[in-house]
Chain A
Amino acid sequence: MTRLGLDRLVQGIAGLVFGLGLVVSGMIDPAKVLNFLDFAGTWDPSLAFVMAGAVAIAFVGFRVAGGRARPILAERFHWPVSRAVDPRVIVGPAVFGIGWGLSGFCPGPAVAALGLLAPGTFVFVGAMLIGMAIARALTAPRVPQDQSHPVAGTRP
């Protein structure tokens, strides 16, 4: 297999591991997410444990990556280009949070849940894709996403 093929295969494996994490953690169930967000009612703190486990392991991964000149299977690191705390990173998450609170679905669990065939999941994901397409068409990135840091070896 070519290096590009291996690169893509590992991305598929990462998707599978992510999905398994959503199932094992219970986060594929929007009811569990809504109960985490319901501090004044049927509070279920599980999501905080998911975040703790995820951030701890990811932290190690980012430390390892930060010490490398390049990833194992790709030419360069695609570090996020935006670093500023600007209005977009307030308004966007506020809009996202309202949708998350209305449904209990954020993008990962919603997409992972498609195969479980709940009709509401299809309605949510369909609308989410429309929303993403609209926002992508309207918000051209100020810096082209993947040409901005041709030698992005440094950690942001």
Chain B
Amino acid sequence: MVTTAFTPVSSLLGGALIGLSAAILIVFNGRIAGISGIVSRLLPPYRGDDVAGKALFTIGLVAAPLLVEAAGFRVVQTVSGSFGLLAVAGLLVGIGTVVGNGCTSGHGVCGLARLSPRSLVATLVFMAAAAATVFVTRHVVGG
């Protein structure tokens, strides 16, 4: 496994940018910055929502690291695990976020910022499930 450096300052600043994005989207567009909600509504069935705005949000999201690299910075990233594991993980994330109506951004950032009890429950559950999964894969079966 890869060790990573603790980055309190840049993580707080980056977090503030994520919060700024959520603030822009609710104040200007009246929408919740929940990525699973935005991305899943790019897929059918369409229920009369504005898909073009969601597509533009997604394009902006994908463009960000490319712009950072174009500006001469290196974006450090380690994607680990077999393709089989990543496929299973992706399926679970896709199903779970649609069933639970949100992910780390929708429940974790926007929901907590709205003081939503529903989002607090969701956030505690996915944090606990994820930490338990990492414990099992790294310390029980992974070693």
Which A residues fall within an 8 A CB radius of B?
7-32, 34-35, 37-42, 44-47, 49-62, 64-65, 68, 70-80, 82-85, 88-108, 110-116, 118-121, 123-137, 139, 141, 144-147, 155-156
Contact = CB atoms under 8 A, between A and B. Distances in A.
Nearest to B43: A133
Contact of A29 (B4, B90, B109): B4
B87 A111 contact: no
B17 A123 contact: no
A39 B131 contact: yes
A21 B30 CA distance: 20
A17 B14 CA distance: 9
Interface majority SS (helix, strand, loop, mixed), chain A: helix
Contacts of B110: 58, 62
Nearest to B65: A23
Given A11-B25, A25-B13, A107-B35, A115 B58 contact: no
Q: Which 9 interchain pairs have the tightest Cβ spacing? A: A92-B100, A131-B94, A61-B23, A25-B14, A19-B64, A97-B129, A53-B15, A15-B60, A101-B133
A82 B81 CA distance: 35
A27 B116 CA distance: 24
Interface residues of B, number: 117
Contacts, number: 526
Contact of A23 (B14, B29, B40, B103): B14
Interface string B1-37: 1111111101111111111111111111111110110
Nearest to A45: B6
A38 B77 CA distance: 18
A120 B86 contact: yes
B16 to A, nearest CB: 4
19 contacts: A7-B29, A12-B53, A24-B10, A29-B77, A50-B14, A54-B15, A55-B19, A58-B110, A79-B32, A98-B92, A101-B131, A106-B35, A106-B97, A107-B103, A111-B39, A127-B86, A127-B87, A127-B89, A127-B90
